[in-house]
Amino acid sequence: MGLFWFHPISMLYLLLLYPLFIFSVTNSFSSVQPPLCHEDESSSLLQFRQSLDIAKFASDSTLSFPKTVSWTQSTDCCSWDGVECDEQTGHVIGLDLSRSQLYGSIGSNSSLFHLFHLQRLNLSDNHFNYSQIPSSLGHLSRLTHLDLSSSMFYGEIPHEISQLSKLLVLNLSCNFVAANPQINLLQLKQQSFRSIIQNLTYLEKLYLGYVNISSPIPTSLTNLSSLQALDLTSTGVYGEFPIGVFDLPNLEILKVPSNHDLTGYLPASIGSLRALKVLEIWQCQFSRSIPSSLSNLTQLKVLDLGYNHFSGNLSSSLSNLTDLGRLSVGGNDITGGDISWIGKLNGLYYLDLSTTNISHEIPNSFANLTKLSYLVIRYANLIGQVPSWMMNFTNLSYLDLSGNKLHGEIPDSIFSLENLNSFYLGRNLLVGQLELDMLLNMKSLTHIYLSYNNLSVLTETSSFNSSFRTNILSVELAACNITEFPQLLKDQDQLEYLDLSYNKIHDTLPSWIWRKENLFVLIVSNNFFSGEISQSICNLKVLEFLDLSFNNISGTIPPCLGTSGKNLHALKSGNNKLSGYIPQAFMETNAFKMIDFSQNNLQGQLPKALTNCKMLKYLDVSNNHINDTFPFWLGTLPELIVLVLRSNKFFGVLSSPGAFMFPKMHIIDLSQNEFSGNLPLEFIQNWESMRASNPNELMYDGFYQYYKETGSIQAHPSATHEDESEDEDSWFPFEFDWKIIVIGYGGGLVFGLAMGSTYDWEKHALLWLKRVHRRVLRRCS
């Protein structure tokens, strides 16, 4: 009958089954479609959205956008930006609102905590207005991933987070104010820190960078066998680093830098961490040698051990680390030896070998490091010349070879580096003439440091295009044989730091310098400047350090200097021809730490408004014509360490109405005045800081030579340490172990101090300022 013949009964049977077939197929298709969002969870999300504002400034990322704008009541919440639902149940299990421009605070009664099925929560890179992390996070017991980094939370981290026992990833890092990154917004109490380590046993990644912990690291950390990443950057942890951490088999990232009281060492067993990619332990107190077993870590991309107390040599076997991009061992006690093997690491973009005592030329093998963007070899006893092959470092943005013994001329090829923004060759033996416009015409250059060489910098040439660029931030050309004030800087409106000291400039200070609104350091000492100090100086509202000393400046001190700026830390105008009176008004909120009016023709009395200078450490008004009684009221200044009244017309008896005066005094010089009577015994009894067991230890850089010449002391100074690699976060070096006192001098009285070695406090104060404002921040990367 043919292939397509059907019996009528069969046809009827098929017709009856067809609706059932269609229903089955339809039902099958509908069963694979994801379920809709639960209404109560949708409502909770909408309430959460309404509790926060949208503000562009709330997220730093250029990729940020307001994800919650797509959230509307008429659509399924599982389709909203940042929302992830379970495909089987429809419950919200993931919420990624990172970089969403959210602004406001999250209370403990927030509807967010009604999402009981939530497993992943990411609120990073928003601004929660310095509110506390809500303790109700502990209700989200199913969380495996929690990221609150860079979100401007403030205060104590709630203990309830340690109850989230299923957490695999916890990120609370990078909550700090950009304007003052030294202040950590979040605090983790010691007990909570221990509980997190002890209770969250499944942790794979723990990021606590820039959280204020300030306690030892629990040894129980070594029990987290699944740990892949640990970040304790700048947390204030201290004590011995648990050696067992280097035995965690899955570790890929270990970051504990900038913890200045954290001690420890690298065991040879670290070579077994074959998965390790990032090792950062800079600015700590680690010691011993750097083990050669590091060469086994062939996946290592970042090795930063800078600014510790590591010693010994660098093993050439580290040349096996061919994936290495960043290598920093600067600031240790390492002997350089043969470092030519570093040239094999041609993937390096960051290299710091500062203070490694290389004692030879930069190896030619370094010419292979053409990917370098950051090269620092400061104070390493380098010899030879600046290599011309550096012209091939086309990616180089930061070059610092300062503090070495490099000689010869700077090769012209350096000035063709279009990406170079920081150029530091100061304190070498470089020679030759250098036209300033060659530097200013470099397209990206922002920082110049060529001080203390044998260079002659020509400031006026005809080839400079003044409209070409205006983004120079700092210029340091001390002792560069400059004879005229560089007019080329007139159009550099962003200028922040200018040092032209120890030159041969016969000029007046140009009026345009007082219009540099961003200028925070101005040093023109040891020149031949004349004229008066303009009242316009008080327009420099951010000025922190002003040094006009050792010039021929005359006239009076502008009265506004004491009242115009909240930021001025140091004012030096000694060894000039200033006359008149010391400013009589000093604002209560001033920041003065140093005032030096010595060697002028000032008269009158010391202004009692100086008692407003609560941070003042150093006051020198010596060699003037000040006519006054002993300023006992200065004894109320809590930080005053050096007081020099020498060679004036002070008179009367040394008496004080207070029971305890000058609590931190280390040097007081009252010599060559007209004081009478006896020195009250209680003065000496109270000056505990001036006592020492061995008078032969007496020494102080800057004071020693003067007192030695007058016969006031008999002591031997130690060598002055010229290395600039001091702690960049200390302000003035008066935190050291000062020791000595009591010296008689002719018709007056001199009191002094001693410390273990001479210390040029002024130099280090400047170093601190420079580094705070020009440091390369290694944060949250």
pLDDT of amino acid 725: 42
pLDDT at 260 over 90: yes
Q: What is the 3-state secondary structure (H, E, C) of 149-206?
A: CCCCCCEECCHHHHHCCCCCEEECCCCEECCEEEEECEECCHHHHHHHHHHCCCCCEE
What single-letter amino acid sits at 660? F
Cα Rg for the chain, rounded, in angstroms? 33
DSSP letter, residue 717: P
Tokens representing 201 are 């046993």
Task: Name the band, by pLDDT with cuts 50, 70 and 90, for residue 663.
Answer: confident
Task: Name the band, by pLDDT with cuts 50, 70 and 90, for residue 183.
Answer: confident
d(C-alpha 80, C-alpha 585), whole Å: 62
C-alpha torsion sign, points 501, 594, 726, 279: negative
Instruction: Return phi, psi of residue 609, to 5°.
Output: -65, -10
Burial tier of 561 (Cβ tally within 10 Å: 0-12, 13-18, 19+): buried
Residue-wise DSSP of 223-260? G-TT--EEE-TTS--BEEPPGGGGG-TT--EEE--S-T
Q: What percent of the chain has pLDDT over 90?
A: 72
Instruction: Return phi, psi of residue 723, to 5°.
Output: -70, 130
* 67 touches 94 (CB < 8 A): no
pLDDT of amino acid 772: 43
pLDDT at 397 over 90: yes
d(C-alpha 239, C-alpha 583), whole Å: 48
pLDDT at 28 over 90: no
Tokens representing 362 are 């930069």
pLDDT digits (tens, 9 = 90+) for 698-731: 443 334 444 334 333 222 333 333 444 444 333 3
State the pTM of this model. 0.85
Helix (H/G/I), strand (E/B), else coil: 510: coil
Residue-wise DSSP of 353-398? -TT----SPPPGGGGG-TT-SEEE--SS---S---GGGGG-TT--E
pLDDT of amino acid 685: 66
d(C-alpha 525, C-alpha 546), whole Å: 9
Helix (H/G/I), strand (E/B), else coil: 444: coil
At a CB cut-off of 8 Å and minimum separation 6, what does 81 contact? 67, 68, 69, 70, 71
**Domains within the chain, CATH numbers bracketed:** 39-167+174-201+219-226 (3.80.10.10), 238-365 (3.80.10.10), 628-781 (no CATH)
* Count of beta carbons in the 10 Å neighbourhood of residue 699: 24
Which position has the token pair 């290495």?
A: 324
Task: Give me the torsion for CA of 771, 773, 778, 780, rounded to 10°.
Answer: 140
pLDDT digits (tens, 9 = 90+) for 89-128: 999 999 999 999 999 999 999 999 999 999 999 999 999 9
DSSP letter, residue 42: H
DSSP letter, residue 672: S
pLDDT at 776 over 70: no
pLDDT digits (tens, 9 = 90+) for 407-462: 999 999 999 999 999 999 999 999 999 998 888 878 899 999 999 999 999 987 65
pLDDT of amino acid 780: 63
- Beta-strand pair 570-572/521-523: unpaired
pLDDT at 688 over 70: no
Helix (H/G/I), strand (E/B), else coil: 29: helix
What single-letter amino acid sits at 636? T
What single-letter amino acid sits at 738? W
